[in-house]
A and B are shown apart, each in its own frame.
Chain A
């Protein structure tokens, strides 16, 4: 029965969400509540995909309906249901924010701001709330820019860190998030170009390292922080130090994207040192974990230069051909924990599955 009702709601709500009359307030209000209900029934991808197609039409209205309809929806099933419904609605908002992360940064900020307010006015902190906080932190790192007049939402990462700290003062990931702000400042300095190519500011890279070292002192952060330190050391030309950090980061299997990146960076470090055989071996280890395009191209280019052209072609084609393309961890490396967002949102979805 639930399946039939669910399917009918999917069709009706998504038709409204993606229709040309999306902005009509009455129709949208109904669609919004239906969408939340569907999301609560576990139709996560269907609902979020529908919204992702619609967000360019009238994002302001969606925020307005979060303020009105979503609050009403949270309270609609009685007091005992409020904590769970709050988590459903805030996870829904988090996923809506993700839908706009590439092109609608202010939308992302608005979604998260609404949800964060909901979370903070709940009772005592819970594990579920922490999961939500870490996922939202990752999403903000994915959209955060250092202060930028074109991006008024850019100051929201430090603000959000403070919000989480009020509720979870001992959460180690906050140390890493603070360090990432310093690292992001380093990246933006590289925007400039000089007469001989990109402007390199090694002092900025060095300035980003102390906060990462502080984060690395906490075991829960050590692997990720040292991956990032290793990368910066490579950029600074401190290749031995880079390798030491990167080899530490490459150990373990709790985060395949980190292991993949560590081997990729080890390969780049060896390349810089002129050790091409070691670089080739490291690139092979990297694509053995995840067949990311950047690592496959690094390996392919190295093999091609060594005249192993058929193997190079096979390796690169396996990474770029149609359905075989996988998300490339390097392409999101500069967004900090955003790389982990798929795992973090999966954990939240598991918590809100219908009972």
Chain B
């Protein structure tokens, strides 16, 4: 592969931000891939820095070190506050959440209401099937969400895979938040395929496993459980794979034991994402193709750094 092609692939793989990218116009409905200029490729990495449980703010480019395949890179920091966010909420509406669907509708409305006017919001629901309810909408124009039917099995791997494939526009950031009780029962996609997509996705994925039963235990006893799992051989049902997929994007999986904490958690996740750092660099001194390991360090403290562990360049 030529260097030009390689660089283009890097841009595609990470949704990089070229310096002269023109601002998007309202007419741009479909996500646009960034234009690539010359022989320079840019890698973009979303980074959260924590001291304990608190986000560390006001860091400058000089505070960061990025190693691309163990080779130190020259870093610049993007002004993240100026970038609007596309938020995709992926919500479990399978039969097991039947007793909390009204709560979920309230939470969804609260989350949508907390967005900024230039943000966009997308709601993807999943049970046996996946449904992108209304596409990406401006935060000020979200349609009603009352007509959500709760029934069927749980296809969380399928739903997250579909959500993560969305291409990011060059002038925006993109986060996917998955909300489920975690009982994967019906995906056609397995954990490996989800991770394959996560590694290449433009989005940061956070998964919230709600451990407080979403269904009344008395009802659960009598709820018909389907024991014919013809799809099961296709899938290794393992929550760790959800966590692995989230980590591959620079996000994480968390468990909640109290349902009422859901909106607080999601608002906090959004706020953390909005104020996290966006680092960019032009790869130098590294091979072109394949998987690149990334390591991000912060000088001056025992910080916890959360960032995608690598990126992929097409061979």
Q: B233 and A200: CB pair below 8 A?
A: yes
Q: How far is the CB of B30 from chain A (nearest CB, A)?
A: 9
Interface residue ranges of A101-116 to B (CB < 8 Å)? 102-103, 105
Q: A146 and B165: CB pair below 8 A?
A: no
Q: B228 and A334: CB pair below 8 A?
A: yes
How far is B162's CA from A317's CA once the two chains are assembled, in angstroms?
A: 7
Q: Does A40 contact B (CB under 8 A)?
A: no
Most-contacted residue by chain A among B9, B128, B135, B227 (CB, 10 A): B227
- Given A293-B158, A297-B162, the answer on whether A307 and B167 have CB atoms closer than 8 Å is no
Q: B133 and A307: CB pair below 8 A?
A: no
How far is B314's CA from A312's CA once the two chains are assembled, in angstroms?
A: 15
A57-65, A72-80, A190-198, A345-353 - the one binding chain B: A190-198
Q: How far is the CB of B158 from chain A (nearest CB, A)?
A: 6
Q: Does B112 contact A (CB under 8 A)?
A: no
Q: A304 and B132: CB pair below 8 A?
A: no
Q: How far is the CB of A144 from chain B (nearest CB, A)?
A: 8
B193-201, B204-212, B276-284, B302-310 - the one binding chain A: B193-201
How far is B189's CA from A268's CA once the two chains are assembled, in angstroms?
A: 11
| Chain B residues near A235 (CB-CB < 8 A) | 233
Per-residue CB contact flags for chain A residues 314-352 toward chain B (1 = under 8 Å, else 0) read: 001100111001001011011100000000000000000
Q: B124 and A320: CB pair below 8 A?
A: yes
Cβ-defined partner of A307 (8 Å) among B130, B200, B226: B200
Q: B197 and A293: CB pair below 8 A?
A: no
Per-residue CB contact flags for chain B residues 219-243 toward chain A (1 = under 8 Å, else 0) read: 0000111111111111111100000
How far is B9's CA from A334's CA once the two chains are assembled, in angstroms?
A: 41
Interface residue ranges of B149-167 to A (CB < 8 Å)? 151-153, 158, 161-162, 165-167
Q: How far is the CB of A26 from chain B (nearest CB, A)?
A: 29
Q: Does B85 contact A (CB under 8 A)?
A: no
Q: Which residue of A lies closest to B165 (CB)?
A: A313
Q: A309 and B200: CB pair below 8 A?
A: yes
| Chain A residues near B65 (CB-CB < 8 A) | none
How far is B124's CA from A304's CA once the two chains are assembled, in angstroms?
A: 20
- Interface size class for chain B? 35 or more
Known: A151-B224, A313-B167. 18 other contacts (CB 8 A): A102-B151, A198-B233, A268-B234, A297-B158, A298-B189, A301-B193, A301-B196, A304-B197, A316-B161, A316-B162, A320-B162, A321-B135, A322-B131, A322-B135, A330-B188, A331-B128, A334-B230, A334-B231
| Chain B residues near A268 (CB-CB < 8 A) | 234
Q: How far is the CB of A107 from chain B (nearest CB, A)?
A: 11
Q: A333 and B134: CB pair below 8 A?
A: no
- Given A307-B9, A310-B167, the answer on whether A190 and B134 have CB atoms closer than 8 Å is no
Q: Does B260 contact A (CB under 8 A)?
A: no
Q: B228 and A307: CB pair below 8 A?
A: no
Most-contacted residue by chain B among A184, A301, A310 (CB, 10 A): A301
B residues touching A (Cβ–Cβ < 8 Å)?
Answer: 9, 12-13, 31, 33, 95, 124, 128-135, 151-153, 158, 161-162, 165-167, 186, 188-189, 193, 196-197, 200, 223-238, 314
Q: B133 and A322: CB pair below 8 A?
A: yes
Q: Does A300 contact B (CB under 8 A)?
A: yes
- Given A297-B158, A322-B133, the answer on whether A333 and B188 have CB atoms closer than 8 Å is no
Interface residue ranges of A78-99 to B (CB < 8 Å)? none
Q: Does A224 contact B (CB under 8 A)?
A: no
> What does DSSP make chain A's interface, helix, strand, loop or mixed?
helix
Q: B227 and A188: CB pair below 8 A?
A: yes
Q: Which residue of B lies closest to A317 (CB)?
A: B132
- 27 examples of A-B residue contacts, CB within 8 angstroms: A102-B95, A103-B95, A145-B227, A146-B227, A187-B227, A188-B228, A193-B237, A197-B238, A198-B233, A200-B233, A235-B233, A293-B129, A297-B158, A297-B162, A298-B188, A301-B161, A304-B196, A304-B197, A305-B197, A309-B12, A312-B165, A317-B166, A320-B132, A321-B135, A322-B131, A334-B229, A334-B230
Q: B189 and A103: CB pair below 8 A?
A: no
| Chain B residues near A188 (CB-CB < 8 A) | 227-229
Q: How far is the CB of A64 from chain B (nearest CB, A)?
A: 21
Q: Does A20 contact B (CB under 8 A)?
A: no
Q: Which residue of B lies closest to A184 (CB)?
A: B228
Q: B33 and A191: CB pair below 8 A?
A: no
Q: How far is the CB of A328 from chain B (nearest CB, A)?
A: 6
Q: A307 and B237: CB pair below 8 A?
A: no
Q: Which residue of B lies closest to A190 (CB)?
A: B232
How far is B129's CA from A297's CA once the two chains are assembled, in angstroms?
A: 12
Q: Which residue of B lies closest to A231 (CB)?
A: B230
Q: How far is the CB of A272 from chain B (nearest CB, A)?
A: 11
Cβ-defined partner of B33 (8 Å) among A300, A310, A331: A310
Per-residue CB contact flags for chain A residues 254-273 toward chain B (1 = under 8 Å, else 0) read: 00000000000000100000
Q: A187 and B196: CB pair below 8 A?
A: no
